[in-house]
Structure 1
Amino acid sequence: MDSQLLPALLLLLLLAASGPRGQGTGSREASGNSPEQVPEGIPEEDGILVLNGSTLCLALQAHRALLVEFYAPWCGHCKALAPEYSKAATLLAAETVKAMLAKVDGPAEPELTQEFGVTEYPTLKFFRDGNRTHPEDYTGPREAEGIVKWLRRRLGPSASQLEDEAGTQALIDAHDLVVIGFFRDLQGEDVATFLALAQDALDLTFGFTDQPQLFQKFGITKDTVVLFKKFDEGRADFPVDELGLDQGDLSRFLLTHSMHLVTEFNSHTSPKIFAARILNHLLLFINQTLTSHRELVEGFREAAPPFRGQVLFVVVDVDADNDHVLQYFGMKAQEAPTLRFVNIETTTKYAPAGGAPVTKATVSTFCHSVLNAEIKPYRLSQEVPPDWDQRPVKTLVGKNFEQVVFDETKNVFVKFYAPWCTHCKEMAPAWEALAEKYSDHPDIIIAELDATANELEAFAVHGFPTLKYFPAGPDKKVIEYKSARDLETFSKFLDNGGELPMEDTAEEPQAPFPETVNSTEAPKEEL
């Protein structure tokens, strides 16, 4: 071989051995690449692996448990999650059962987002034992302690196995809510169902046992799941029937019985109130600064037990930061003390007749009258403004809605909006321009209705803005508009009698409805 080629060949061999970023492979082999170490060649930020299409495989090989966040640099929800995600990485470093956090810039890695079905940001996927084909969707909280707890429940035991009375009593005494499964056979399917539920019920502490002395101590004669709590009746039993333990039934039981008979509404309890999946809510509005109001809570609580699981009893302090709740019911603080009943699925609301005092008897009577359909619901409506039809955009309220939109001689195009909705504000100029353009058409009315202050019998409005067209005629026909929100497309729609030409029928994504009272889902942004 030509001696002049030797230096070049040696240089190439050295470069090949050095690995990415000039780091040698020798240290990686010496360390054995343990699961707690970052594989060489993968960048790391604040204890979080920064992955791409090339390095994901390395990370999966190196870590038994890997939680990956798919984010977008422009996503506000991702930015809000970032400090909690970094804090979670720090907390995980001290955990006995190890897991690693990672992140992927979704828009920069379209092949990965497509592979894992990522359609919104942030999306988190949990990979276990290097399995790339079936990651689990992360369903836990978006704060550091919750992220760590979610991972801990999956990687360690989700429930403690209890062997004696002392350990069992210590567990019960240490927590406000403890769920203990009493099972004769710990190898049965019911135990697997119990442990699977424990993985996700992060607000509860779980234990299980097969010890006869514990069955005897707590008066258990058959397989039973018991919720021990430091309030109300202190304990609730869920016997396992002959068909076996149903995870859905047990989950509903625990959600229902882990709630206080009476819950005070605030920012901490509101997610739990709506997660309880009890559709009927009875609200007592009081001013907590007044002794006479606080004394009413006892009678309210005494009425609650027979309705457990059917009606959720809630106290709302009108002197606290609950103006949005008062607005939702069309109330003023001066009306307290008073009751309101609402079905949160249909948003149907009820108020007691007259000015009866709040007692155990009146609360029970009011509940029964609603549940037995003996009382009519009420719907919010503003008063009709004197100048409602003087501007190009007409103002509708609940009290004049049907009279206007079902006028057989008029074609009425209505925008249902919320005053705080940014999407509504963005389209307002186009709506005003549309009204100006058709102001000389006597058979066309462009109108708007504040759907947060006016409720309609004909239908409920679930998103803002919602646009509906009511064509002239006796049929009371309603056409929902779902295309582009600009003057040109609006005009084509009107000129074509409530339809768009084929080339203009592409649907525009609708804004989500951030419900004032019962929004609990973690926010995400669509791709």
Structure 2
Amino acid sequence: MSRQLLPVLLLLLLLRASCPWGQEQGPKSPSEEPPEEEIPKEDGILVLSRHTLGLALREHPALLVEFYAPWCRHCQALAPEYSKAAAMLAAESTMVTLAKVDGPAQPELAEEFGVTEYPTLKFFRNGNRTHPEEYTGPREAEGIAEWLRRRVGPSAMRLEDEVAAQALIDGRDLVVIGFFQDALDMTFGLTDRPRLFEQFGLTKDTVVLFKKFDEGRADFPVDEELGLDLGDLSRFLVTHSMRLVTEFNSQTSAKIFAARILNHLLLFVNQTLAAHRELLAGFGEAAPRFRGQVLFVVVDVAAGNEHVLQYFGLKAEAAPTLRLVNLETTKKYAPVDGGPVTVASITAFCHGVLNGQVKPYLLSQEVPPDWDQRPVKTLVGKNFEQVAFDETKNVFVKFYAPWCTHCKEMAPAWEALAEKYQDHEDVVIAELDATANELDAFAVHGFPTLKYFPAGPGRKVIEYKSTRDLETLSKFLDNGGVLPTEEPPEEPAAPLPEPPANSTMGSKEEL
């Protein structure tokens, strides 16, 4: 690769198409309203519908849209910060507009943009409706505003001397500077000045990330033969911009998930106790050798993180303790011996999981004594296999979450179905709390999920995806797990409701 091209490639990565004004405008939606229509506002935020989104995209070349649900507590917490960000950007005359869409009330838009959880934020540039950028930044006002400033303004500058370089480093918590000996005349963070190479101890082209935490800086040397690999550089920047140890809270959760590190090691402590706080030093000491492989996270059990505890099947009294989760497989791991938390035990635990020596565990509640006394039978992880795969029974199971609005809405129909078939000895209507019980046979990702396990050998499983009313559910059962051909087509899947925490450890938003 020509060395003259290296700064260009770095520029493309760093700017991430930060100048939206030169992009080709996307296709217009046939549902766009005429320009004279006025879009309503609340607290400085545009309130959009499927009829006005096209108009907003035409009038606002940089548009951040929040898809929210009125019942979502994370959306409620975000609302004041979102309004503050809008006010800050308006005061600065920044050419960006904030808007919001009620996802459940606008299902067409939620489906069009693949919204499955709330809140979801998407950034539209220059009217391009087809390829919005996913918002992965902070959830507080200044963080939102800064994320947007970086996308609508110049993101870097040419450095001519030590003063300019130091000013750039001092001005932000995270600064990336490309040191190139053959720099092109571009206005981004790069330099070709020998004295700067000397000052920062460099002899070859290098991308340097400066930060005000941990080791202070991280270097990414450019391979003299292969040149600059953008994928490797991107991973380097993401990995080294994270702290070695991150405390989990509402401000850090989005960044933790955006790190793209699949393994998360959690240290659960009660930070009101001095003995627990003393463990943090050892936790941080063990972290560097696993950088890029395992993300180290501290969870304070005394700071309102019950949903994280619930996800791992823990009580606050279990702290201090360690858990590791892989975000791709959602498998969870616990130390085998459950001994003290030390640098040695942390290191051994991580190596054991990464090498496949530590086996994952599955959550399960205890089997209730009266699990089969009601029309709707109660299943948990410990009795699921023997009931669902009983070859003499046709078993229909609802997998639900206690917080799920859609699950609550269909509960009366499910109860009525169970009462209707309670005298059929070969039919079992059951339910399982999928937030407190995990299954080896399959994972449950959306709620409610309905699965039918027909009698007979072969461990067959049929997923039900049609209307959730008593009449249709009954027809499905009566026809042996299929609906009559004259039934209407399946209804679109409703957007996933918001949990008390979002995805892994409750959700991507929570960790």
Q: Per-residue CA shift, 1:204-259, capped at 9, x if unaligned? A: xxx32222221121122222111112222221111223444344432322221122
Q: In structure 2, what is the Cα distance between the partners aligned to 1:160 and 1:449?
A: 57
In structure 2, relative to structure 1, the CA distance for the partners of 1:162 and 1:136 (3 Å cut) is farther
**1:464–1:511 contact (8 Å) kept in structure 2:** no
| Aligned-residue offset at 1:82 | 7.8
Q: Per-residue CA shift, 1:359-385, capped at 9, x if unaligned? A: 111111111111111122211111111
Aligned equivalent of 2:177: 180
Aligned equivalent of 1:476: 459
1:163 to 160, 172, 187: 160
| Aligned-residue offset at 1:173 | 2.8
Give the SS at the match of 1:448: strand
Q: 1:416-435 alignment to 2 at 5 Å?
A: 416-435=399-418
Aligned equivalent of 2:15: none
In structure 2, relative to structure 1, the CA distance for the partners of 1:446 and 1:89 (3 Å cut) is closer
In structure 2, relative to structure 1, the CA distance for the partners of 1:122 and 1:239 (3 Å cut) is closer
Give the SS at the match of 2:284: helix
Aligned equivalent of 1:519: 507
1:231 paired with 2:213, answer: yes
Aligned equivalent of 2:95: 99
| Aligned-residue offset at 1:75 | 7.2
| Aligned-residue offset at 1:464 | 0.9
Give the SS at the match of 2:238: helix
In structure 2, relative to structure 1, the CA distance for the partners of 1:42 and 1:246 (3 Å cut) is farther
1:439 paired with 2:435, answer: no
Q: In structure 2, what is the Cα distance between the partners aligned to 1:113 and 1:355?
A: 48
1:383 paired with 2:352, answer: no
**1:126–1:136 contact (8 Å) kept in structure 2:** yes
Q: In structure 1, what is the Cα distance between the partners aligned to 2:386 and 2:57?
A: 65
Q: In structure 2, what is the Cα distance between the partners aligned to 1:379 and 1:209?
A: 53
TM-score normalized with structure 1 length: 0.76
Q: In structure 1, what is the Cα distance between the partners aligned to 2:304 and 2:69?
A: 32
1:403 paired with 2:397, answer: no
Aligned equivalent of 1:212: 194
1:66 paired with 2:50, answer: no
Percent of matched pairs sharing the same residue:
67
Q: Per-residue CA shift, 1:28-63, capped at 9, x if unaligned? A: xxxxxxxxxxx9997896878999999989996xx8
Q: 1:365-380 alignment to 2 at 5 Å?
A: 365-380=348-363
Give the SS at the match of 1:473: coil
In structure 2, relative to structure 1, the CA distance for the partners of 1:437 and 1:239 (3 Å cut) is same
**Aligned residue type for 1:519:** S
**Aligned residue type for 2:174:** L
Q: In structure 2, what is the Cα distance between the partners aligned to 1:314 and 1:74?
A: 29
1:305 paired with 2:293, answer: no
| Aligned-residue offset at 1:156 | 2.8
Q: Per-residue CA shift, 1:446-481, capped at 9, x if unaligned? A: 000111111111111111111111111110011111
1:506 to 480, 490, 500: 490
Q: In structure 2, what is the Cα distance between the partners aligned to 1:462 and 1:54?
A: 32
Give the SS at the match of 1:238: strand
Which ranges of structure 2 fall in alignment gaps of 5 or more residues? Answer: 1-34
In structure 2, relative to structure 1, the CA distance for the partners of 1:357 and 1:521 (3 Å cut) is closer
Aligned equivalent of 1:269: 252
Aligned equivalent of 2:479: 496
**1:413–1:446 contact (8 Å) kept in structure 2:** yes
Aligned equivalent of 1:23: none
Q: 1:11-90 alignment to 2 at 5 Å?
A: 66-68=61-63, 88=85, 90=87
Q: In structure 2, what is the Cα distance between the partners aligned to 1:75 and 1:353?
A: 43
Q: In structure 2, what is the Cα distance between the partners aligned to 1:390 and 1:48?
A: 52
Q: In structure 2, what is the Cα distance between the partners aligned to 1:51 and 1:377?
A: 45
Q: In structure 2, what is the Cα distance between the partners aligned to 1:370 and 1:341?
A: 8
In structure 2, relative to structure 1, the CA distance for the partners of 1:337 and 1:50 (3 Å cut) is closer
1:222 to 178, 199, 204: 204
TM-score normalized with structure 2 length: 0.78
In structure 2, relative to structure 1, the CA distance for the partners of 1:396 and 1:367 (3 Å cut) is same
**Aligned residue type for 2:201:** G
Q: In structure 2, what is the Cα distance between the partners aligned to 1:238 and 1:79?
A: 41
**1:285–1:339 contact (8 Å) kept in structure 2:** yes
| Aligned-residue offset at 1:487 | 0.6
In structure 2, relative to structure 1, the CA distance for the partners of 1:511 and 1:291 (3 Å cut) is same
2:330 to 328, 333, 347: 347
**2:211–2:241 contact (8 Å) kept in structure 1:** yes
Q: In structure 2, what is the Cα distance between the partners aligned to 1:55 and 1:471?
A: 46
Name the structure, 1 or 2, with higher relative contact order (CA <8 Å, separation 6+): 2
Q: 1:325-344 alignment to 2 at 5 Å?
A: 325-344=308-327
**2:96–2:152 contact (8 Å) kept in structure 1:** no
In structure 2, relative to structure 1, the CA distance for the partners of 1:82 and 1:138 (3 Å cut) is farther
**Aligned residue type for 1:168:** A
**1:181–1:225 contact (8 Å) kept in structure 2:** yes
1:320 paired with 2:299, answer: no
In structure 2, relative to structure 1, the CA distance for the partners of 1:362 and 1:81 (3 Å cut) is closer
In structure 2, relative to structure 1, the CA distance for the partners of 1:66 and 1:104 (3 Å cut) is farther
**Aligned residue type for 1:222:** K
CA RMSD of superposed structures (Å) = 3.9
| Aligned-residue offset at 1:488 | 0.7
**1:281–1:314 contact (8 Å) kept in structure 2:** yes
Give the SS at the match of 1:413: strand
| Aligned-residue offset at 1:300 | 1.8
Give the SS at the match of 2:328: coil
Q: In structure 2, what is the Cα distance between the partners aligned to 1:69 and 1:282?
A: 33
Aligned equivalent of 1:253: 236
Q: Per-residue CA shift, 1:307-353, capped at 9, x if unaligned? A: 11111111222222111111111111112221112112212111112
**2:178–2:206 contact (8 Å) kept in structure 1:** yes
In structure 2, relative to structure 1, the CA distance for the partners of 1:292 and 1:492 (3 Å cut) is same
| Aligned-residue offset at 1:127 | 4.8
In structure 2, relative to structure 1, the CA distance for the partners of 1:510 and 1:471 (3 Å cut) is farther
**2:181–2:205 contact (8 Å) kept in structure 1:** yes
Give the SS at the match of 1:503: coil
Q: In structure 1, what is the Cα distance between the partners aligned to 2:260 and 2:444?
A: 21
Give the SS at the match of 1:178: strand
**1:405–1:412 contact (8 Å) kept in structure 2:** yes
| Aligned-residue offset at 1:101 | 3.5
Q: 1:451-490 alignment to 2 at 5 Å?
A: 451-490=434-473
Moved more, 51-60 or 306-315: 51-60
| Aligned-residue offset at 1:278 | 1.1
